[in-house]
Amino acid sequence: MLNPRGIIERYRDFLPVDDKTPIVTLHEGNTPLILSEDLTQRLGLKVYLKYEGLNPTGSFKDRGMTMAITKAKEKGCTAVMCASTGNTSASAAAYTARSGSMRCFVIIPEGNIALGKLAQAMIHNAKVIAIKGNFDEALNIVREVTDNYPVELVNSINPFRIEGQKTGAFEVCDELGEAPEFHAIPVGNAGNITAYWKGYNEYKGAGKATQLPKMLGFQAAGAAPIVLGKPVENPETIATAIRIGNPASWKLAEAARDESGGLIHAVTDEQILEAYKLLAASTGVFVEPASAASVAGILKLKHEGYFDGHKDARIVCTVTGHGLKDPNIAIKNVIEPVVMEADLKAIVQEIGL
């Protein structure tokens, strides 16, 4: 039986906590690993979706945030701060509320955060400041503030965030009984690819897996600094979660790529939206656009012949956030409902029965 009380209890032996650590948890983690028959057929290898949208605040950030807020509480901090494209702020706001003893300050890029995420940060009572600037500028301000005032930084440059997020890799191995051959993941600030790679390595080191996956990272084409090899000053993509031009964990993401023999490629907004709609319609999994970057990426690689000769291999895609986070994008990409009178006969006719 899996431990239902969150990732710190479940993976305590792999995390920097002891008996006295005051664990702040919303019972995150233990998310489903869903075999997509549709994608398996399209790719010719087994495609699993690690559905991180089913965490308490609807994204993978909760794995890192339970650790970051727990350690902040242990240290006696009374305030935390983050820059965010949305999900980090939603998670930080919820876990500080849960802590019962901390305030949360959030800086977001005005006009470029999905509606659901903004609602979350506000309802959990964070102090939200929207700057006329992008995520990278917001993060620079947060670094300055947290360097100079008694406020804890909870972006993924906080090492406890990475510690928590590495448990995603543990769960994958526990469920498959082994590490997969490939792991696909969207890349924004590059914390999560770093965390998964750390997790896979630690699990192999502990004898809980015998191999390591190739890490396949995907950035949005308009926000692809790692692919281009230089910062992007004005990143643009409909996948606002990964609209980041100068990732904090850039070097660590490159290390994950190179040590694993993997790659980091770009996918266009069009490819992201196509994968987004395909996942929802053909697998029944509704994710936010940034999450679909990992699926868009593997479809692109398949097309390029990258997986030739890997017929029985397994690939895990981390789908990082729930589709309900960004309802506006969904509505913009579907056909509007038919409006009709409440008339049985007409409705049966419209359906074509």
Closer residue to ligand AN7 in complex, CB, 129/313? 129
CB of 322 to ligand AN7, least distance (A): 9
CB of 236 to ligand AN7, least distance (A): 16
Closer residue to ligand AN7 in complex, CB, 6/217? 217
Question: What is the footprint of ligand AN7 within residues 95-154 (CB under 6 A)?
Answer: none
CA pair distance 21, 1, nearest whole angstrom:
24
Give ∠ CA 20-23-177 in degrees, rounded to 5: 105
Q: List the one residue from 242, 256, 278, 295 that touches ligand AN7 (CB under 6 A).
A: 242
Give the C-alpha distances (Å, rounded to integers) separating 249 from 40, 81, 171, 198, 258: 31, 18, 23, 13, 14
Helix, strand, coil percentages in the chain from 3-state DSSP, rounded to 5:
50, 15, 35
Closer residue to ligand AN7 in complex, CB, 70/84? 84
**Phi/psi at 54 (5° precision):** -90, 15
Contact 105, 126 (CB under 8 A): yes
* Three-class DSSP category at 148: helix
CA pair distance 293, 266, nearest whole angstrom:
9
CA pair distance 178, 203, nearest whole angstrom:
10
In the chain, the largest separation of any two C-alpha atoms, in whole Å, equals: 69
Question: What is the footprint of ligand AN7 within residues 198-217 (CB under 6 A)?
Answer: none
Is residue 85 near ligand AN7 by the rule CB under 6 A? yes
Give the C-alpha distances (Å, rounded to integers) separating 34 from 39, 132, 319: 11, 39, 11
Is residue 190 near ligand AN7 by the rule CB under 6 A? yes
Closer residue to ligand AN7 in complex, CB, 192/260? 192
Q: List the one residue from 164, 186, 225, 323 that touches ligand AN7 (CB under 6 A).
A: 186
**Phi/psi at 317 (5° precision):** -110, 120
CB of 116 to ligand AN7, least distance (A): 11
Is residue 192 near ligand AN7 by the rule CB under 6 A? yes
Is residue 191 near ligand AN7 by the rule CB under 6 A? yes
Is residue 321 near ligand AN7 by the rule CB under 6 A? yes
Closer residue to ligand AN7 in complex, CB, 9/137? 137
Interface characters, 27-46, with ligand AN7 (x: CB under 6 A): --------------------
How many residues bind ligand AN7 (CB under 6 A)? The answer is 21
CA pair distance 104, 182, nearest whole angstrom:
37
Is residue 219 near ligand AN7 by the rule CB under 6 A? no
CB of 350 to ligand AN7, least distance (A): 36
Residues 6+ apart with CB under 8 A from 95: 24, 26, 62, 65, 66, 68, 69
Question: What is the footprint of ligand AN7 within residues 44-63 (CB under 6 A)?
Answer: 59
Interface characters, 146-175, with ligand AN7 (x: CB under 6 A): ----------x-------------------
Structure tokens at 147: 């360097």
- Stretch near ligand AN7 under the rule CB under 6 A, chosen from 15-23, 37-45, 256-264, 288-296: 288-296
Is residue 323 near ligand AN7 by the rule CB under 6 A? no
Enumerate binding residues for ligand AN7 (CB under 6 A). Answer: 59, 84-88, 156, 186-192, 241-242, 288, 290-291, 320-321
